[in-house]
Amino acid sequence: MKRKWLFLFLIVGVNWGYCQDITFSQFYAQPVLRNPALAGVFDGDIRVSGIFRNQWQSVTVPFQTTSLSTEFKLPFNKFNDWLTIGMEMSNDVAGDIKLQNTQLLPFLNFHKSLNDNAEQYLSVAFMGGPVYSQFDPTKLQLDDQFVNGAFNPNNPTQQVFTRTGFTYWDASTGVSFNTVFNENDHFYIGVGVFHFNHPRVAFYTGDKTSILNTKIALNAGVTLNTSETNKLIFYADYFRQGQNEQFLGGATYNTEISRRYTDNKTVSFDMGAYYRWNDALIPTLKLDMYDWSGGISYDINVSGLKTASQWRGGFEFSLIYRTRLNSRSALENKVLCPTF
């Protein structure tokens, strides 16, 4: 029975790694994983976002995912156009055999102003770079290492692994449209296409059929100011990759606690909830303090695995730094950036 479970977790780990991309419940904290064209769609010039996820600890060896992204916005010309450059770095570790994917993806996003008031932008982005996959063969428990039903790691195995790691190149693109309406409210929509180069992902060099499926992403978000100090923020994402589909959406309520009038920076608190369809209900809390934001969320598992998981999914923590450059103060009133 033990061998069957080990085999099951190995297969689940491989399928998770290659049939789906990494997923964060605080998906707004890593925008380029939603759509490369959402890079730079925020109020400010620089943003550094970090996030850590620990999942399925109640079921098996936890799946742990860490991601760090940087975004830097540059004025492009006198027509209120902007350019965002940055880097997305992530590491995902799954299961007993430490199946890992480590990616380093630089990106570029061009924001074209569509009117003289800089209230509407069309963004076109590209993201691409290397991804390294590996696993630890010493963590495997193979059939010929069991004697009389008992596993002995000192027993030799006839299984030979000629390659335990490989690198492939991944490429993605996307477009988005964002606008200001009712003076202070914001709205955006986007479409992203991930893995359009169809990279081959296989540990066996002779395998020519294991291709990473293209993933299509649809994104939307709305910020509605309900008063001078309060607002509602709605997010929604839909992904399709091969036969896999995912919908994640929800809202947070933001209330301003205090404001520093010397530089117009605020302290505010967010409380909300999200739902990943047929998978998890996700309550979230976030504190924004001037240039810093810290968030915490927890997945309440509602999928078919809820009996084994006892409704427990995983914790997620995020930390974001966002600021303006003093040298651009003259442009601050010209470009009405969204506040997502």
Give the model's confidence band at 178: pLDDT under 50 very low, under 70 low, under 90 confident, else very high. Answer: very high
Q: Residue 338 domain-assigned?
A: no
Q: Residue 310 domain-assigned?
A: yes
Distance CA 123, CA 116 (A): 16
**Angle at Cα 335 formed by Cα 227 and Cα 237, nearest 5°?**
65
pLDDT above 80: residue 2: no
The β-bridge partners of 105 are 88
Distance from chain centroid for Cα 191: 15
Alpha helices (H) in the chain, listed in sequence order: 2-19, 306-309
Q: What is the pLDDT of residue 22?
A: 86
> Is 163 in contact with 135 (CB distance < 8 Å)?
no
Burial readout 8-45 (b: 16 or more C-beta within 10 A, e: otherwise): ebbebbbebbbeebbbbbbbbbbbbbbbbbbbbbbebb
For the chain, the domain total comes to 1
Distance CA 246, CA 278 (A): 9
Report which residue type is found at 50: G
> Token pair for residue 167?
């690198």
Mean pLDDT calculated for residue range 106-124? 91
Structural domain that includes position 147: 2-331
Report which residue type is found at 156: P
Distance from chain centroid for Cα 320: 13
Q: If you search the block for the tokens 């925008």, which residue do you land on?
A: 31
Distance from chain centroid for Cα 29: 7
> Is 302 in contact with 279 (CB distance < 8 Å)?
yes
Q: Residue 336 domain-assigned?
A: no
pLDDT tens digits, one per residue of 226-282:
999 999 999 999 999 988 899 999 999 999 999 988 888 899 999 999 999 988 999
- Report phi then psi at 164, rounded to 5: -110, 5
Q: Residue 260 domain-assigned?
A: yes
Burial readout 267-280 (b: 16 or more C-beta within 10 A, e: otherwise): ebebebebebeebb
CA distances from 88 to 34, 39, 49, 217 (A): 12, 10, 9, 17
Q: Residue 337 domain-assigned?
A: no
Q: What is the pLDDT of residue 60?
A: 63
Distance CA 314, CA 75 (A): 40
Q: What is the pLDDT of residue 210?
A: 85
CATH for 219: 2.40.160.40
Alpha helices (H) in 2-43, listed in sequence order: 2-19
pLDDT above 60: residue 3: no
Mean pLDDT of the chain: 84
Mean pLDDT calculated for residue range 5-33? 63
